[in-house]
Amino acid sequence: MLALDGSGKPASKVGILLTDRTGTPLSLDERLDPQHDPRIEIPVDGGSGTFRLNAFYYTWDKTHADPGDGNATARFTIMQE
């Protein structure tokens, strides 16, 4: 889960959950798990692919969550093998 940026007036007790297209949460700050993490296989030189991800707001404490800005930044490293 991504923490919200501290700019503006961020919501409290809220983060952003990143998932693949099946709803499986992504492993963040961990080595790629080729059995579970999303990947793109491009079978020809010069081909292209689309990396499909979903993002959802998530709260772990609905009773005490406060409204506010809900922005976050995610950085990805793409490896070509």
Q: Which residues of 57-68 are buried (b: 16+ CB within 10 A; e: fewer)?
A: eeeeeeeeeeee
Tell me, what's the pLDDT at 4?
94
Residue 74 pLDDT class (50, 70, 90 cuts): confident
Q: Are 63 and 14 in contact (CB under 8 A)?
A: no
> pLDDT tens digits for 18-67?
988 788 888 787 776 667 666 667 777 777 777 788 999 999 999 999 99
Alpha helices in 1-81 (DSSP H): none
Q: How far, rounded to the nearest angstrom, does the alpha carbon of residue 48 sit from its chain's CA centroid?
A: 21
The residue extents of the domains of the chain are 1-81
Q: Model's pTM, two decimal places?
A: 0.72
Tell me, what's the pLDDT at 13?
95
